[in-house]
Amino acid sequence: MRSAAEKRTWVSVLSSLTEPLLDFIYPPWCVLCNNDLEAEVLVCRTCLETLPRLEQPVLAAEKLTHQLSGPAWFDASIALFPFHESIQKLIHLMKYKGYESLAQPLGRELGLALRDAALVEAAVLAPVPLHRRRLRERGYNQSERLAQHAAAAAGLPMEAALLQRVRYTRPQAKLAKAERSRNLAGAFVVPRPEATAGGVVVLVDDLFTTGHTLNECAKTLKAQGCRQVYCLTLVRV
């Protein structure tokens, strides 16, 4: 048995080691304005609240079909921000620089937007999955983290493995418009269709750019009998 004094020494040694380490991993200042943070994670409330917002967060799929090279399989898109350097920086840090915890404040904003849109009462949130090869390269799926925090803020369930990516695909951005749907055909499966909770699914991703990836996910879900599919993203271009 170690004495209480010995334990206290260990605790103080450990905290002196981990605190500078945590500070190194996550700086205690806002990644956008450099002001000191209080209870916030990585980005301050002021920066989050003053990010330019989309005037119309909810758009019916018909308004977005011009971007897709075929029919829209989802029902509507809900998004928060237009493409802008601040949100671009936050997404870049979250996806590629290991600032995984940015998914917490950003995911919460997504969940609140979903709740305010009042489109769904009972739905399950599902992230756009990464192929396991890309998941290995990146270490985490930022969409899953966003979905997790969005679900908590909206008071809805989240199914991380509702969709599975079974084919490794080339990055969409490098392809011509006509090739994009072909590149994604058959890329996703629904391993347990019974998990789609009454047939309403909210797909979560960081970006709605051309919409091809989200549309392919929606197509896969509708083929499994889902009644409604919504796309919930931080940015819509």
Shortest separation between residue 233's beta carbon and Zn ion, angstroms: 22
> By CB under 5 A, is residue 33 in contact with Zn ion?
yes
Q: Specify which residues 29 forms β-bridges with.
A: 36
Residues 114-143 contacting Zn ion, CB under 5 A: none
> By CB under 5 A, is residue 17 in contact with Zn ion?
no
> By CB under 5 A, is residue 44 in contact with Zn ion?
yes
Structure token pair of residue 219: 């197509």
> By CB under 5 A, is residue 151 in contact with Zn ion?
no
> By CB under 5 A, is residue 30 in contact with Zn ion?
yes
Shortest separation between residue 236's beta carbon and Zn ion, angstroms: 23
Stretch that binds Zn ion, among 27-35, 115-123, 132-140, 196-204 (CB under 5 A): 27-35
> By CB under 5 A, is residue 51 in contact with Zn ion?
no
Residue-by-residue DSSP string for 34-54: -PBPSS-SSS-HHHHHHS---
Structure token pair of residue 19: 């605190």
| Coil vs helix vs strand at 47 | helix
User: Of 152, 191, 154, 184, which is closest to residue 68 (Cα–Cα)?
Assistant: 184
CA distances from 98 to 26, 47, 104, 138 (A): 10, 20, 13, 9
Stretch that binds Zn ion, among 41-49, 81-89, 100-108, 222-230 (CB under 5 A): 41-49
> By CB under 5 A, is residue 162 in contact with Zn ion?
no
